[in-house]
Each structure stands twice: as structure tokens, then as C-alpha cells.
Amino acid sequence: MVQRLRVRYAKRGRLRFTSHRDISRAVERAVRRSGIPVAYSAGFSPHPKISYAGAAPTGVASEAEYLEIGLSSACDLERVRADLDASLPPGLDVLEVVEARSGSLADRLEASVWRLRLPGADVAAAEQAVKEFEAADRVEVERLTKKGMRRFDAREAVRSVAVVNEQERTAGQEPGPPCVILRMVVRHETPAVRPDDVLMGLRLVAGFAPPSPPEVTRLAQGPLDATTGEPGDPFDVERADGDL
Amino acid sequence: MSVESLFPRLEALLPKVQKPIQYVGGELNSTVKDWDEATVRWALMYPDAYEVGLPNQGVQILYEILNELPETLAERTYAVWPDLEALMRSEGVPQFTVDAHRPVRAFDVLGVSFSTELGYTNLLTALDLAGIPLDAVDRTDDDPIVLAGGHAAFNPEPIADFLDAAVLGDGEQIAIAISEVIREWKGEGAPGGRDELLMRLASTGGVYVPKFYDVEYHPDGRIKRVVPNRSGVPSRVFKHTVMDLDEWPYPKKPLVPLAETVHERFSVEIFRGCTRGCRFCQAGMITRPVRERSITTIGDMVEAGLKESGFSEVGLLSLSSADHSEIGEVAKGLADRYEGTQTGLSLPSTRVDAFNIDLANEFSRNGRRSGLTFAPEGGSERMRKVINKMVTEEDLIRTVTTAYSQGWRQVKLYFMCGLPTEEDIDVLGIADLAKKVIKAGREATGSRDVRCTVSIGGFVPKPHTPFQWASQCDHETVDRRLRELRDALRGDKEYGRAIGYRYHDGKPSIVEGLLSRGDRRVGSVIRAVWEDGGRFDGWSEHFSYDRWMAAAERGFSGEPVDVDWYTTREREEHEVLPWDHLDAGLDREWLWQDWQDAVNDVEVEDCRWTPCYDCGVCPTMGTEIQIGPTGRKLLPLTVV
């Protein structure tokens, strides 16, 4: 392996229904189609050197997914970005490619910013639920995992949660049905607290129950800034000496 | 009139179902054409789950060919799983295409490809979800023409009530011809409605419209005759055969799914048809004659297909791939070309006698030597003569010995149980054969680390084969023989642990037998099963034998027939069979003679290499054998 690249990509629109396995197959094929000189592992059954950090769940859109790819010969970063993007189906979009510096990328992904769109939900009820959730020390929720029903705290990992005021209306259109937008910053912990766990928490503390499933998007993930309480850009290290 | 996308309504349901990605479309190389600019609109369905249906070659080929036509568009639709079906019903979302999520009922044609009869109940689900009346006679000018193709369409009688039309054989040219008929008819303002359109299609002799034929029965239940019920409808409908596969190099742009599917590879058909003459094999009988694709076209298709898809495996498909006249050169050329690129080659369907070790070495050069599969089909020498699978025990032992000594550790052997004239000793012969295989393997390698897996399927007599007259073995007998074989294998101290054994119970074969050789009266059974919740009958976790038997009880009440009548009953030479008016080109007298030869252990050679034995196909259909060698080689490609 000659060059190690780090890639930020988005999964958008209907492609949010891809699972982690679907994405990894799609990326391997895109790499082959684009002719990017990916390095292969040695051994009996060689695999392309592509690894993924913290994939968003099936059904969740994301503007900030990350993978690493090892190349057998050095390539121009912008060209890899454009070629890979062109070879992936629309909706899996390659946003940024940097050359890896030292340190694990996965370790830098400490927290995520999530946006939850809740069609038909009531704004006042949402605000009240958020207030009660933040006031609680612990909010125990349950989720069905592969190992059966698990019970865990959904409060501690939540750095912040708020109802945001977004104008969804575009000029000339009728205002749509009421809709609540939640924005939350959640630390990556074990067991992982997912946006729907927080939503379950809001229901448990205040009976807040949106009428239809949430549309969830990961807006960003990165190292958590202690002062702002927001995740920073995980590629700051790679960008430290200016343009790479 | 434009058609709105159903996606926004579907999207709200997707978070609640398993594997939602299978319903969203957007695959690489998929096509969405403008609705209003097209005159003829096809919805192509494979009546099984997306993961099975997407890789289907037939659907992919027609999808691409139809979308290349001006004024024509084609989209795909698949069977939805019961979780989504329930939500679609409660939310009123109709059957949709995955390409542009348009409602299936808005199309001109719903073309359904049946590889197996077990997709029939899924057809009914799709029609019902689409809002298309199940009975063809209840449909209006607002409903699409429901058209069946695929191998099961060579006897579409059990689903005749639900179909407007069926086509037999290769789909490439007839799909284009049907589009042209529809385009003209619409251009004239659709005179006479759907009946006139169906009449125009039927009068060509190449499209079967079941409702234009009446079936008359004898009091004992046998068919008296099948006759056209209006003038201008031909008494026989013929199959379609594409000559010169080099002129039809599809798929050019293989669909690359996001969801996981059963075949994750780029497949190229290296030839169509097979004249080995295995008597149980419907595919070999109805796809005659052999037509090879040339080595250069195969090379070009592989190159383009890999480039378009990014797949890392190539499958060279046919009914017996090692029989291609230049298979050695194809294998070597492709292995050379893709050396060091992590591209695997696979050759499904290899005959024992056509296999050679050089070929196997080429195919495993870029991959691993995991396993080889051979299909002797019959456990005894006599049984193999009956089915005309001309493979001797010697051939088999020699082939597997070579394979073991060349480094393969695992050999799979495929057999059938319940073949005509079969006795217990024929099935128990499988155990002896498997033991001999392991013994030879141990001697050849000097190691005990060789394995063999015996895999057994139940035999189902099929239309248009010499066994179309045969009695199907009852499931009790099949199950008993399979248990005895299991005991014979497991009980062997010396070899038992080196032999794996895979089998299924015999009940599903009885249902398949009912559907394969059924007539129009079986339609009410299919409907009853579907009404009782029958779906995905090809999946053991969804299939219910008891449901089928209960439905048959209801469906056949008042008729002089029952399940045994359709399955275990042997037919007389001159009994009118439900598919006799559907012409695969096979001479009925030749089929009967071949059936008599089977019973008398008489074998028939392959007409590729010996004189014609008058099966009837070439003169009836105006076709000919097209095989190489061309003498050409595959040129190495310059690596970019």
C-alpha cells in the first residue's frame, strides 16, 4: 500500500435505505469501475483495502460518512474524488478526499449531529418534551438488539437537543402540514445511543409521540469540542499544514 | 396523460419493512424514460423477491432491448414481501415499478417471466395489488395485457384464466414485434379495444391468447380437444428461436443492484440450447437447437460488462457450459486477460464427461479451488440409461480422481429421486457411488482430507419432454428412498463421515408436478391457495403442502380429477395433453419413441456430433445448429 486516503461521503434521498453491507458492496464495485488502484490484502482470498468508520443505520440519511481506502499507487486526490463519485449511484455522493495522517479516524469520530424531521408533530409538545428530557438525569429506554431486548440510559450521551425553527416553505407554495425539526448532538458511546432512542426517551418522559416515523439525517460527526459542545471536522489534522 | 410517482407514498412505508433498499430502484444501468414520450410501455415482472428476480437474465435482456426502442419504455417490478404487501394494502399503495415507481396498472403490457411454476401465486398478488382483475375476461381497456413468458409458459394452461397472452421461446424478437403491433394499434386510435389487439397478436401464430381457445373434456376428465373459438386464430402456436446470438449481445449494461442478490456476478450466455438429450430436462428439449455465441463476442461482452458493472466475477452460462466448441480457448483467454485483477471466472453446469482438468485449472487460476459440482442425476448405470444421461461410473470416478489429485478437496454430486422406472436399488446405488468417489480420492491424494456432498432433488415430469407421459413418483416413496439412502450413507464407518447429504422432502415436488402438467382446471386451485394466503411457494418457509392439498380438495370438487390424476397417473400415447397445441417444434411421435426407448434403456446420441435423429425442431422451426469452432483467439487487452 502506497497511499492511504480518507473519504467523506453522503447517503442521500432514497439511498438512505442502503444498509452498511449494501454500501460496502457498492463502493467495492465503484472502485473497480473507476479503475482506482486499490490495494488488496495478501493471502488466500485477497480483499480490497477499504474500511468504514461508524456507518449510519439503514434508513438514516447522512452528510458525513467516512471510509478509508488504501491505494497501490499514489493518485491525485481530486481525481479520486471525482472518479469515485461518478462511479457510485446518485445518492451515494463523494464529498471530500484527503490523504491520511497519523491517528485513527474512528477515534476522532466522538459525536454526531443529527437532524430529525417529524412530519405532523406538534411544536409545543416537542419543546416541552425536550425541556423535561434535559432536566432528567437518566432516561432508561429499551431497544430490540440481536441479543434480545436491551435496557440502557439514553440521556447521558445526549450533549444537546433542541427544537429548531426551520422554514420549510418555498416561495409561492402553500404551507405544508405542521412539522417539527429536532437537532441533537449525541456522543458515540457503548451501547450506542441512536436518534430513535432519544425519540423514545422523549416519549417516556413527556408522552411525546410523533404520528409518523422520523426522517433522520446525520449532519456531521467528529471530535467533540468541549467549549462549544459541537463536533469539529475530523479532517482538521489532515488539513493542518494548509492544502494537501 | 402523465403518471405520478408512487414513491412519496411508498417511502413512508419503507422504514417499517425488512430490506427496504430492494424497493427503491436507482440501480446502476437502470433506465427511466419519459412517460409521455413513449407510446408502448412495458412493466416487466419476475414473480419472486427482488434478490432472486434482479439477476434474472431474461428480464435484464428484455429490459435493455425494449428501452433501446424509440417510443417504447420498460420498467421492472418484483414480488413484494408479505410485510410490505400488508402495508400497501392498508395504505392503498398499488403494485409499483422500481424504476420510476409508476403504478403497474398504467402500463400497456405486464410481461411476467416464469422460470418456475412456483411463482404463480405471486402473479396473483401482483395483479391484485395493481388493481388488475385476476380473471382476464374481467379486464377493461384500462388494464394492461398480462403476458407470460419463460420456460413455464410452455404450458401456461394452469394460469390461462389469469393471462391475456403467453409467448414461447426466446423473447428478444417477439418482444419487439409485440411492441410494434401495439404501437400501430394505438396509432390507429386503439380500434376494437383490447380484444382487437389480442386478435392481432394471436393471428400471427406467435402469441397464445388462451381465451381464444376452448378446451373440451371427456366425461372421465381427459381432454377431448383444444380448439380456437373464433376465426383467424391458428390452431397451433409456435415458439420463437433467435438465430445468431452474436447479433443479440445482451445484456450490454448489466444492472448492478445495491441490495444483496442471489448472483453477484456478470453473466454471459455462451450458448443457448442443448441436445445432450437428457430426457428429464425440459430446458434441453424446448431450447433446441444449440446456438453458440462466438468466442470473440463472448470476449467483448465480458470486457464491456465488467467495465459497466464493476463486478468481480464472470459467470459463463448455458445448459452445459463445457460443451462450447471453444470453451478451452475462452477459459484460457479470459484467465490470461484478467490475471492479477482479482476477477473470478465461474462455469456453472459442467458435465462429467465434458469436464477436463485443463479447463478447471484455467477457471481456478484467479480464484480458489473450493468445490466442483457434477450431476450424474441417476444413481445406477441403468437409471442413467433411462434418463439418457450418458455418463458411466468410470467417467465419474476418473473425473473426480483427477480433480482430487489436482488439489480440489470437495466435490458435489447432484442426483434426482423419483425418476421413471426407479427402484429402491437405483437410489441406494448413490451411496455406493459416493463411497467409490471417496475411496478413489483417498487413493489419489494419499490423504483422508477429501469430501463429497450428495445433493438430491425430486424429479418432476415436465411438458414437452419424453417423460410428459410418465407417472410421477408419490412423495411417500421418494421420502422412504431418501431416508434409506441417508441411513446407508451415515451408517458407513469407513466413508460416512466424508460424505455430506442434502435432500428435501418429496411433497413440494408433487405441487410442482400438479402445476407443471396441469390444465385450466388447476387454475381454481391456484386461486384458492392464494386466497388462503399462499405466497412465495418457492421458499420452504412460506410453502405449505397442506394448504395446496386443501385448496385442491375445494378447487377440484365436482370434477372427475384430483391431485393424483395430474401427478402419479401415467398417460396413454394418444391422450390429448394440455399443451399439445403449443408447438416447441418437437415431433410428438419422436417424443413418444424416446419415452419407449427410455423404458427399454436405449440411449440417444447428441445430434451436434452425430447424424440428425429427427426430433423435429429444426425443420419445423426453420432453425439449424450453430456451433464453432471459429478458430479465433481472445486478444489480450491493454491494461489501463
Residue A54: what pLDDT? 82
Chain B residues within 8 A of A16 when measuring between CB atoms: none
Whether B436 maps to a domain, the answer reads no
The string of pLDDT tens digits covering residues A62-103 is: 999 999 999 999 999 999 999 999 999 999 999 999 999 988
Band of the pLDDT at A244, cuts 50, 70, 90? very low
Q: Is B413 exposed, middle or buried (0-12, 13-18, 19+ CB in 10 A)?
A: buried
Q: Which of A11, A12, A17, A93 best probes binding to B when mutated, by most B CB atoms within 10 angstroms?
A: A17
CA distances from B383 to B30, B427, B567, B601, B605 (A): 46, 9, 21, 8, 16
CB contact under 8 A, A22 and B24: no
Residue A37: what pLDDT? 95
On the question of pLDDT at A167 being above 70, the answer is no
Band of the pLDDT at B592, cuts 50, 70, 90? very high
Chain A residues within 8 A of B260 when measuring between CB atoms: 21-22, 25
Contact B103, B3 (CB under 8 A): yes
A123 and A147, same domain (yes or no): yes
Residue B640: what pLDDT? 40
Report the 10 Å Cβ neighbour count for B371: 14
Out of B24, B28, B310, closest to residue A14 by CB: B24
On the question of pLDDT at A125 being above 50, the answer is yes
Chain B residues within 8 A of A59 when measuring between CB atoms: 14-15, 20
CB contact under 8 A, A22 and B260: yes
What total number of domains does chain B contain? Answer: 1
Whether B1 maps to a domain, the answer reads no
Residue B630: name the closest of B301, B300, B295 by CA. B295
Band of the pLDDT at B355, cuts 50, 70, 90? confident
Residue A169: what pLDDT? 52
The string of pLDDT tens digits covering residues B414-451 is: 999 999 999 999 999 999 999 999 999 999 999 999 99
Question: Running DSSP on this structure, what letter comes out for residue B258?
Answer: S
| Dihedral angle computed from the Cα positions of residues B385, B390, B395 and B400, in that order, rounded to the nearest 10 degrees | -100
Judged by a CB distance cut-off of 8 A, whether residue B308 touches chain A is yes
Contacts of B291 (CB under 8 A, 6+ apart): B241, B242, B243, B244, B245, B271, B272, B273, B625, B626, B627
Question: Running DSSP on this structure, what letter comes out for residue A192?
Answer: P
CATH code of the domain in which B90 resides: 3.40.50.280
The string of pLDDT tens digits covering residues B512-535 is: 999 999 999 999 999 999 999 999
CB contact under 8 A, A30 and B258: no
CB contact under 8 A, B15 and A213: yes
Interface size A-B, in CB pairs within 8 Å, comes to 66
Judged by a CB distance cut-off of 8 A, whether residue B32 touches chain A is no
Residue A42: what pLDDT? 86
Q: Which of A15, A23, A25 best probes binding to B when mutated, by most B CB atoms within 10 angstroms?
A: A25
On the question of pLDDT at A176 being above 90, the answer is no
Min distance B5 CA to chain A CA atoms (Å): 13
CA distances from A150 to A142, A144, A146 (A): 5, 6, 9
Contact A95, A10 (CB under 8 A): yes
Q: Region B591-609: what's the mean pLDDT? A: 96
Judged by a CB distance cut-off of 8 A, whether residue A79 touches chain B is no
CB contact under 8 A, A22 and B26: no
Residue A175: what pLDDT? 62
CB contact under 8 A, B7 and A14: yes
Chain B residues within 8 A of A11 when measuring between CB atoms: none
Whether A204 maps to a domain, the answer reads yes
Residue A212: what pLDDT? 86
Whether A150 maps to a domain, the answer reads yes
Whether A72 maps to a domain, the answer reads yes
A26 and A45, same domain (yes or no): yes
Band of the pLDDT at A240, cuts 50, 70, 90? confident
Whether B555 maps to a domain, the answer reads no
CATH code of the domain in which A20 resides: 3.30.70.580
Residue B197: what pLDDT? 98
Judged by a CB distance cut-off of 8 A, whether residue B20 touches chain A is yes
Query: What is the overall mean pLDDT for chain B?
Result: 95
What total number of domains does chain A contain? Answer: 2
Band of the pLDDT at A172, cuts 50, 70, 90? low
Contact B335, B362 (CB under 8 A): yes
Last residue of a domain, one of A107, A130, A146: A107
Residue B369: what pLDDT? 65
On the question of pLDDT at B639 being above 50, the answer is no
Residue B348: what pLDDT? 78
Residue B242: what pLDDT? 97
Which structural domain range is residue B133 located in? 7-218
Whether B202 maps to a domain, the answer reads yes
Question: Cα angle at B59 between B53 and B62, to 5 degrees?
Answer: 170
The string of pLDDT tens digits covering residues A20-50 is: 999 999 999 999 999 999 999 987 778 999 9
Q: Region B125-140: what's the mean pLDDT? A: 98
Whether B522 maps to a domain, the answer reads no
Question: Running DSSP on this structure, what letter comes out for residue B470?
Answer: S
Which structural domain range is residue A102 located in? 3-107
Residue B585 Rama label (left phi>0; alpha psi -120 to 50; beta): left
Whether A239 maps to a domain, the answer reads no
Distance (Å, whole) CA B615 – CA A80: 58
Whether B449 maps to a domain, the answer reads no
CATH code of the domain in which A197 resides: 3.30.70
Residue A242: what pLDDT? 55
Last residue of a domain, one of A90, A107, A124: A107
The string of pLDDT tens digits covering residues B14-69 is: 999 999 999 999 999 999 999 999 999 999 999 999 999 999 999 999 999 999 99
Give the three cell numbers for residue B169. 421461446
Phi, psi of A132, deg, nearest 5? -70, -35
Judged by a CB distance cut-off of 8 A, whether residue B407 touches chain A is no
Chain B residues within 8 A of A30 when measuring between CB atoms: 310
The string of pLDDT tens digits covering residues B167-221 is: 999 999 999 999 999 999 999 999 999 999 999 999 999 999 999 999 999 999 9
Whether B248 maps to a domain, the answer reads no
3-class DSSP state of B142: coil
A134 and A96, same domain (yes or no): no
| Dihedral angle computed from the Cα positions of residues A153, A159, A162 and A165, in that order, rounded to the nearest 10 degrees | -140
A160 and A176, same domain (yes or no): yes
Whether A84 maps to a domain, the answer reads yes
Interface of A with B in 172-231 (CB under 8 A): 212-213
Judged by a CB distance cut-off of 8 A, whether residue B311 touches chain A is yes
Q: Which residue of chain A comes nearest to B30, CA vs CA?
A: A89
CB contact under 8 A, A21 and B260: yes
Out of A14, A22, A59, closest to residue B259 by CB: A22
Whether A55 maps to a domain, the answer reads yes
| Dihedral angle computed from the Cα positions of residues B376, B377, B379 and B380, in that order, rounded to the nearest 10 degrees | -80
Distance (Å, whole) CA B62 – CA A226: 59
Direct distance between the N- and C-terminal alpha carbons of chain B, in angstroms, rounded to an integer: 48
Q: Which of A11, A12, A14 best probes binding to B when mutated, by most B CB atoms within 10 angstroms?
A: A14
Judged by a CB distance cut-off of 8 A, whether residue B310 touches chain A is yes
Question: Cα angle at B598 between B597 and B604, to 5 degrees?
Answer: 65
Distance (Å, whole) CA A212 – CA B231: 58
On the question of pLDDT at B638 being above 70, the answer is no
Residue B520: name the closest of B559, B564, B549, B550 by CA. B559
Interface of B with A in 355-374 (CB under 8 A): 368
Beta-strand ranges (E) seen in B18-137 are: 40-46, 72-78, 109-113
Whether B231 maps to a domain, the answer reads no
Min distance A97 CA to chain B CA atoms (Å): 21
Q: Region B590-612: what's the mean pLDDT? A: 95
